[in-house]
Amino acid sequence: MPPGRLAYFGTARHLERTAVHAAMDRISAWNRQLTSRALDGLGRIGGITIYGPRDPARRASLVAFNLAGRDPVAVAEALDRAGVEARAGCHCATLAHHALGLSPPASCRLSFYLYNTPDDIDQAVAAVAAIAAGGPATCAAQPAPEPPRSPAKLPRRPPPRRRRG
pLDDT higher than threshold 80 for residue 5: no
Report the catalytic residues: 92
pLDDT at 121: 95
User: Confidence band (pLDDT; 50, 70, 90) for 58?
Assistant: very high
Mean pLDDT of 92-110: 83
Q: In whole angstroms, what is the distance from residue 109 CA to residue 59 CA?
A: 13
pLDDT band at 16 (very low <50, low <70, confident <90, very high): confident
Choose between 145 and 42: higher pLDDT. 42
Give pLDDT tens digits for 144-164. Answer: 344 444 444 445 555 666 666
Share above pLDDT 70 across residues of the chain, in percent, rounded to a whole number:
74
Q: Are 88 and 67 in contact (CB under 8 A)?
A: no
**What's the Rg (C-alpha) of the chain?**
24
How is the chain split into domains, by residue range?
Answer: 17-132
Q: Is the pLDDT of residue 140 over 90?
A: no
User: CA-CA distances (angstroms) from residue 47 to 23, 38, 109, 131?
Assistant: 38, 16, 16, 11
Mean pLDDT over all residues of the chain?
81
Class of domain 17-132: alpha beta
Q: How far apart are CA 11 and CA 21, in angstroms?
A: 20
Q: pLDDT at position 45, please?
A: 97
Backbone angles phi, psi at 128, to 5 degrees: -65, -40
